[in-house]
Amino acid sequence: MINQAPIRLALFFGGVSSEHEVSCVSAAAWLRALRQPPCAGKYAVTAVGITKEGHWLRYTGPADKVADGSWQADTAALTPCVFSPDRSHHGLLLCREGGAPEVLPIDVAVPVLHGKNGEDGTIQGLFELAAVPYTGCGVLASATCMDKAAANTVMDAAGVPHCRWLAAGRYELEDGLEAVCRRVEAALPWPVFVKPANAGSSVGISKAKDRESLRAAIATALAEDDKVIFEEFIDGQEVECAAIGNPEDPASVFATRPGEILAGDEFYTYDDKYKNGVSQVVIPAHLSEAKLDEVQRLARKAYLALGCTGLSRCDFFVERGSGRVLCNELNTMPGFTAISMYPKLMENEGLSFSALADRLIELALHKRKGAY
């Protein structure tokens, strides 16, 4: 039997994003998983850290230093690099002092990058230029899911139910703040959730209960993005599905049974997700079998409607009283930390973290050309 050479894999983490630290924790989990069966020996892994200032560095040190952020201080393990868009390079250029750049070809890219500059289509576009396969959603699906106004518009057109919403750009809010506030008040009852259109993990989200808090919430959202989303408050149970698969083979697209997170705050905040550890994960969610089926079906519908490939986490509300299932959003690179819902949902379906990583890489390598 002929032994195959390991698949050359580059894993990207960190990034110029408010979710830099979470990306590092997720990446450390990935790096550990890639050393375990069925990944062990199958992949030759190169880790590439992107600093908050946007410097790209190949990192050869331990995963634990990625998780706690100390990797940047491990200078002996760092080599400046860039990802080349030149298809003849098909990978990284290592920039050693005093010499010509060294080409490091790769076969597949794994962008474990959350939020802006990571899951918004930007780095996906770079991989497209280089013709390097990559895990996760393509340029358009990444950008659409990242922009809540764009995603809501697609869901409206596809018949995926979600809450009532409005959007306003910075130009409207700075020139006519009170007019926008009146429009929000006329369309949505209090309280109103106010969100930056392009931000992840609950960053910049506020719950406005009157005109004064609405103005403050708009200022908070504008600190993160140039577009603001206003959504009606849903008194509902928050549940999540993990979806996986490539749309060119729709029959293979799979959504898990929903789970839920019992938040430790008034709503599920960034700290609750990643820092304070007071939230509890329940799989399957506390719903009837019929309602679990409905959420699962709508997760798959939303995933396909938004053109997702590889993976996404699909978040829903199940409204108390009416039982309405409403899609909140799809996250195209969800957290992969020890407490993250996506890998826990997949583990509940019998797929270990390492097996999940292997499956996502396999999907990237077998993605139909032009299906990005």
Residue holding tokens 């030149």?
86
Residue 107: partners with Cβ closer than 8 Å, 6 or more residues away: 7, 8, 9, 132, 133, 365
Per-residue pLDDT tens, the chain, 372 aa: give them.
Answer: 456 899 999 999 999 998 999 999 999 999 999 999 999 999 999 999 999 999 999 999 999 999 999 999 999 999 999 999 999 999 999 998 878 899 999 999 999 999 989 999 999 999 999 999 999 999 999 999 999 999 999 999 999 999 999 999 999 999 999 999 999 999 999 999 999 998 765 779 999 999 999 999 999 999 999 999 999 999 999 999 999 999 988 888 999 999 998 865 554 455 555 454 556 889 999 999 999 999 999 999 999 999 999 999 999 999 999 999 999 999 999 999 988 999 999 999 999 999 999 999 999 999 865 444
Residue 105, SS3?
A: strand
Residue 314, SS3?
A: strand
Residues 130, 132, 134, 139: what is their CA dihedral angle, to the nearest 10 degrees? 30
Q: What span, in angstroms and rounded, lies between the C-alpha atoms of 89 and 86? A: 6
CB atoms within 10 A of CB 8: 17
pTM of the model: 0.92
Residue 300, SS3?
A: helix
Sheet containing 192-196, strands listed edge to edge, beginning at the edge strand earlier in sequence: 165-169, 227-232, 192-196, 206-208
